[in-house]
Amino acid sequence: MPVLTVDSAFLQKVAEVSKWNQQPTTDLLTRALDDYIKKIEWEKLSQEMKAFQSMLDELLVEYEGKYVAIHHGKVIGVDDDLSTLHNRIYYDMGSTPVLYERVTTEPKREIVIRSPRLERRE
């Protein structure tokens, strides 16, 4: 297992937060790192979406109706079937964040999820 070295000031801060949050240090660090990794993944996918949008006219000429995989602003895979494309890319790259999009001029469907609202009964 890898060893992580941190300075004493950081370790002291983690211990303080752990104490007032009543959370074990390992849980705090695991949650913080997990949240940070998710943030980085979303930022990467946002950049890939911008790249996809900027390339859309070119992609429509060559790949209309197909699914593309975008990584570092470049097409790294194409297929008629999303699942097949995803499996092939995952086999090569593991869990690296990759954008999968269908090349089309059709607008994306907007999905609205309504959450329940609690009201006080009188």
Cβ of 5: how many Cβ atoms within 10 Å?
4
Q: Which pTM value belongs to this model? A: 0.74
- Torsion sign across C-alpha atoms 84, 77, 45, 94: positive
For each of the chain's 122 residues, which pLDDT tens digit applies? Answer: 788 888 889 889 988 999 988 889 889 888 999 999 999 999 999 999 999 999 999 999 999 999 999 999 999 999 999 999 999 999 999 999 999 999 998 887 777 778 777 667 76
Burial of 75 (0-12, 13-18, 19+ CB in 10 A): middle
**Nearest CA-CA partner of 65 in 81, 77, 52:** 81
Sign of the Cα pseudo-torsion (90, 91, 93, 94, in order) = positive
Phi-psi map region of 23: left, alpha, beta (phi>0 left; psi -120 to 50 alpha)? beta
* Length of the chain, in residues: 122
Per residue in 88-112, is it b (16+ CB within 10 Å) or e — as a string? ebeeeeeeebbbbbebeeeeeeeee
Beta bridge partners of 63: none
